[in-house]
Chains A and B, each alone.
Chain A
Amino acid sequence: MAHLLEIENLRTQFFTQQGTVQAVDGISYNVDEGETVAVVGESGCGKSVSALSILRLIPNPPGEIVGGEIRFMGKNLLDMTDQEIRSIRGRDIGMVFQEPMTSLNPVLTIGRQLTETLMHHLGSTQDESMDRARELLRLVGIGDSDRRLAQYPHHLSGGMRQRVMIAMALACEPKLIIADEPTTALDVTIQAQILELMRELTKQMGVALIVITHNLGVVARYADRVNVMYAGKVIESGSAMDIYHRPHHPYTLGLLRSVPRLDQPRGTRLIPIEGQPPDLTRLDGGCAFRPRCTFATEQCAGAIPGLEAVDEGHITACFNKEAVADSLRNTT
């Protein structure tokens, strides 16, 4: 069966005065209908850029999608005219942004912002879309909907606004929702609520979900599959179980070790990944993670490792993947 979304060798670059930033450097992954895929990585690894590239929202200039294909329901989004991509945005692919505080227009009421997408994409009348807006607010767990619809974003808390954003993304019953760090700006307790809500609604409505995050806890709980990104590339991809329990890339392993855990004794030192992510304008011919990697060998400097299968549906890009896997077996 064809995938809902197929990203193939996507390359997005930013042309700056300091040089060309290879923000997304040949990533490929698929999303099936109703599936939740997580994209994980630290700040600046290109995960947000890859998400924005799907909807062609990269600011140009300086950014440009220089290569690859993004096929959504069989059609290449990169070949579409502006008109065509606009009819996909908000209708077939919804997006939830990182900052709920600033992602809603402060001078328009919640009701107007919700109904506008409905009237714009589905051609509903004012009354129909108001009814639907009430229903949507109920779906995302906002009570007293009539009152809320008349309010402005500043009347709502951050969690509420993110719920409204989710309602807006769901409004036209899209096939796919891209959530770019949907919980980063929220309190921990609210984060759980929002994630639970997103999972429930996407499962219920059969919507596929791409979650961009740097929170591995999110990944473990909610994602069917995980793509770990580093320096613009996917360096490991597999099921949440694979990534969590059988990481084969030293970066994934480092990420897992640097997360504080409640089941460890107090005072246990976290193991950070030393060093800085590489400057994406000056990548050499070797593995980008090499300078920070404890497993690095001479081979790593000479060539960029390709993605190789280690298991069914589990791929990784490391020359020393066996050593990484072994090290995990020895410590636990």
Chain B
Amino acid sequence: MTVTTENLGSPDIEALPERDSLIVRCWNLVRRQPLGAAGLLFIAIMTVMAFGAEVLTSINPEEQMFEHMLEAPSWEFLLGTDNFGRDIWTRIIYGARTAMLVGFFAAFFGSVIGLMLGVGSAYFGGKIDLIFQRVMDIFLAFPSIIMALAVVSVLGTGLQNVIIAIMLPMIPQCARVVRSSALSIREIPYVDAARALGYSHGRIILRHMSPNVMAPFLIMFTSFVGQAILAEASLSYLGLGVQEPIPAWGLMLQGGAEEYAESAPWAAVFPGLAITFAVFAFNLFGDAVRDVLDPKLRSR
């Protein structure tokens, strides 16, 4: 803590601690949450893969090199090739882009819509809350993958529809968790104070209450990204998600990979590992976020 000269005249002002440098904060994170830091590292790697796919590999992910079909990992093809002679390393890197795109957008829209509905439900209370919660119950009664399947079969496949299909079941999950936190916030006088200042319902919900439920929201959001990546892989594997020839991890597990699983296991193993690590990383990171944000679990 450093005391600056400005507050010499008023001794009651406590000096704000100076922010630690980024390196110190990173080191603190590694020390306190080693698993979370590992998760974050993997997420960072995935993000770099997603954004820098063109730089990380010079091979076109859709290029079929028929002279190199089902080749084992080598220096030329780091993780081998599939039955169409496509480079698996390249497709995993480009698949990270698909996974992150679907994972991030589905989780973002699912949790943000859930946040607004949950806080709104708690804010209005009474009959609105009651009806809204029953509607959410109905949505929660469907297993989310079944609901996603239903949505895709109605809307059709494609990246956008996959995002919608994965997002929909997340809304009630997030809304429910957020609502329970928002209910306690509703009773704190600053919400009434905001009403006394003449703010509209929307403004109170979005600008005054929502920032106060950020802790559960962020926890939901990070775990949703992992779930969404898994859901996207499942849908693609079932042929209802992203379509060939777009590189997607779930898609890589299907077709040729299954057929040649014995003779060319690399075609299935590496995309499978990518999915596993991605989901694992987001779960670890989500747990770390929860530990940091939930004061009850802190410093245990």
Contacts and interface: CB of A to CB of B under 8 A. Distances in A.
Interface of A: 55, 57, 61, 86-91, 94-95, 97-99, 102-108, 116-117, 120-121, 143-144, 147, 151, 155, 157, 165, 168
B189 A99 contact: yes
B126 A147 contact: no
A106 B185 CA distance: 11
B193 A95 contact: yes
A89 B190 CA distance: 15
B295 interface: no
Given A107-B211, A157-B12, A117 B197 contact: yes
Given A57-B192, A104-B190, A105-B190, A144 B6 contact: yes
Given A94-B196, A116-B197, 17 more contacts: A55-B196, A57-B196, A86-B200, A90-B198, A95-B193, A97-B189, A98-B189, A102-B189, A103-B190, A105-B194, A108-B208, A120-B197, A120-B203, A143-B10, A144-B9, A147-B6, A157-B12
Contact of B13 (A91, A108, A116, A147): A147
A94 B197 CA distance: 7
A113 to B, nearest CB: 9
Nearest to B12: A157
Contacts, number: 76
Contacts of B200: 86
Given A95-B193, A108-B208, A108-B211, A86 B199 contact: yes
21 contacts: A57-B192, A57-B196, A87-B198, A88-B198, A89-B195, A90-B196, A90-B197, A97-B196, A102-B189, A104-B193, A105-B211, A108-B211, A116-B197, A116-B199, A116-B207, A120-B203, A143-B9, A147-B6, A147-B13, A165-B193, A168-B197
Contacts of B212: 105-107
Contacts of B208: 105, 108
Interface size range of chain B in the complex: 20 to 34
A323 B188 CA distance: 46
B14 interface: yes
Contacts of A104: 190, 193
B124 to A, nearest CB: 11
Which DSSP category, helix, strand, loop or mixed, fits chain B's interface? helix
Contacts of B13: 144, 147
A106 B12 CA distance: 20
Nearest to B187: A102
B184 to A, nearest CB: 12
Contacts of A117: 197-198
Interface in B184-224: 188-190, 192-200, 203, 207-208, 211-212, 214
B265 to A, nearest CB: 51
B7 interface: yes
What 10 A-B pairs come out closest when comparing CB atoms? A89-B198, A90-B197, A90-B198, A95-B196, A107-B211, A86-B198, A103-B193, A103-B189, A105-B190, A102-B189
B198 A120 contact: yes
A121 B198 CA distance: 8
A99 B13 CA distance: 21
Which DSSP category, helix, strand, loop or mixed, fits chain A's interface? loop
A86 B9 CA distance: 41
B198 to A, nearest CB: 4
Contacts of B9: 143-144
B9 to A, nearest CB: 7
Most buried by A among B13, B14, B200, B214: B13
A165 B207 CA distance: 18
A331 to B, nearest CB: 42
Most buried by B among A89, A95, A105, A157: A105
A120 B198 CA distance: 9
Nearest to A88: B198
Nearest to A86: B198
Contact of A89 (B16, B197, B211): B197
A90 B203 CA distance: 14
A144 B10 contact: yes
B199 A155 contact: no
A104 B200 CA distance: 17
B215 to A, nearest CB: 10
A57 B195 contact: yes
Nearest to A98: B189
A104 B7 CA distance: 23
A89 B14 contact: no
A95 B6 CA distance: 33
A35 to B, nearest CB: 21
Contacts of A143: 9-10
B199 to A, nearest CB: 7
A147 B192 contact: no
A86 B196 CA distance: 8
B188 A102 contact: yes
A151 B7 CA distance: 14
B87 to A, nearest CB: 48
Interface string B59-88: 000000000000000000000000000000
A299 to B, nearest CB: 42
A13 to B, nearest CB: 17
Nearest to A159: B12
A99 B190 CA distance: 9
B189 to A, nearest CB: 5
Contacts of A55: 196
A102 B194 CA distance: 12
